[in-house]
Amino acid sequence: MNVTIVDYNSGNISSVINSFKEVAKDKVNIEVTSDLNKIKSSDKVVLPGQGSFKSCVHALKKIDGLVDTLHEFAINNKKPLLGICVGLQMFADVGFEETETKGLAWISGKVSRIDNQNGKYKLPHIGWNQINIVKDSKIFKDIENYSHMYFVHSYEFVPEDKSVISATTDYSSNIVCSVEKENIFGTQFHPEKSDKIGLKIIDNFLNI
């Protein structure tokens, strides 16, 4: 099986790469690339994202044909894709970080700033927090509810269709921290920084 981690110059993704390689061992070939043909021929794709919504979308669009290739992979061919952090946020129609920026429009919704209740809650939301699993998701197989995951974000994905939400976390309000829609999966938290439970989530994705 070939799994591609999309490298589109969106910040340091070494921990994502290391975690996937640790879980994959020799069973799975992990490739880190933005080569369109390699993405097309992959069995699964991981879309990481660090920095702002705007900077990540612009970095994706800078690589000619990459957005179309990802769309073909996930939407047309229905192959499994996992978005991490801003990788998940980019599934939305639009994001409002820095300026209004169009997303990939794979899951209807918007990405807006977390309501920190006039400074009562610090932003970014950073560190370990519990997740509440709200629907059976393939990536949560054998994961206990209220497990702790590692977060770093100031913006949240608000999907229009609440049925795509697979987990939430409580920070100033109920924040969507995981989605599943058919073959598309996304986590707002960082599984690659979430210790053994995070590695189990990566393993679950590789086993889909």
Helix (H) or strand (E) holding 171: strand 165-171
Structure tokens, 56: 């990540």
User: Phi/psi at 149 (nearest 5 deg)?
Assistant: -125, 165
One-letter amino acid at 158 equals: V
CA distance 167 to 33: 29
DSSP result, 92-154: SSEE-SSS-EE---SS-EEEEE---TTTTS-SSEEEEEE-EE-S--GGGTTPPTT-EEEEEES
Residues acting as catalytic residues:
85, 190, 192
Q: How many CB atoms lie within 10 A of CB 133?
A: 18
